[in-house]
A and B are shown apart, each in its own frame.
Chain A
Amino acid sequence: EVQLLESGGGLVQPGGSLRLSCVASGFSFSGYGMSWVRQVPGKGLEAVSSISAGSGNIFYAESVKGRFTTSRDNSKNTMSLHLKTLRAEDTALYYCAKAADNTGSAPFYFFDLWGQGTLVTVSS
């Protein structure tokens, strides 16, 4: 089955850290860019970070730059997001998402496969 499965969310105090994981199955993971997209409950979507298929290009939203680190291990079909110096405004459901286009024809990513999300709550 083609799917993405996130894990690692939870309750963390302001200033704390967390590591999220996304395990892919059913497609050639190493051939596609991947992203983390977050959603505050009841609110809109924000692309947090993207990583190219071979990890050569990594992008971060300004809101998380310097605090979040994205990586991937193609041998394990896994992408990770390390969240540091967490703030209350980082509270959200974090989705991993697969780039739909692996031809390189599009400038950046749009997404044809999403996980179910993992909830990060930053609160004292």
Chain B
Amino acid sequence: DIQMTQSPSTLSASVGDRVTITCRASQSISTWLAWYQQKPGKAPKLLIYMASSLKSGVPSRFSGSGSGTEFTLTISSLQPDDLATYYCQQYSSYSQTFGQGTKVDIK
């Protein structure tokens, strides 16, 4: 199975900060990567697919980049509503594995 590793596991930042989350795959997945946001008590919500394509309706402060084995999710200006856990997911193989998550706190 392809393993997905996110870093950091938690981060605390102030409103307006630029925030970057990294996701590494154990083998190349081309750009078959999605990012999700999960707020407490809610189901995950798709933010980005194909590594850098923003889902319609998602604020433009979210962006994704990368290919192969290294990917990033960037929030250009952190907002209070962005308090959540963020997951990457590869869909290159049938295992469709997720990263372990990055919890974003607002300072």
Contacts and interface: CB of A to CB of B under 8 A. Distances in A.
Interface majority SS (helix, strand, loop, mixed), chain A: loop
Contacts of A114: 43-45
B49 interface: yes
Interface string A101-124: 100001111111011110000000
Interface stretch (B12-20, B71-79, B85-93): B85-93
B43 A35 contact: no
A109 B43 contact: no
Contacts of B95: 47, 61
A88 interface: no
Interface residues of A, number: 23
Contact of B96 (A50, A62, A95): A50
Contact of A110 (B1, B49, B94): B49
A59 B1 CA distance: 13
Given A45-B98, A46-B98, A110-B34, A116 B92 contact: no
> Interface size class for chain B?
20 to 34
A44 interface: yes
B87 A107 contact: no
Contacts of A44: 87, 98-101
Contact of B93 (A62, A95, A100, A108): A108
A107 B29 CA distance: 10
Contact of A112 (B1, B55, B98, B101): B55
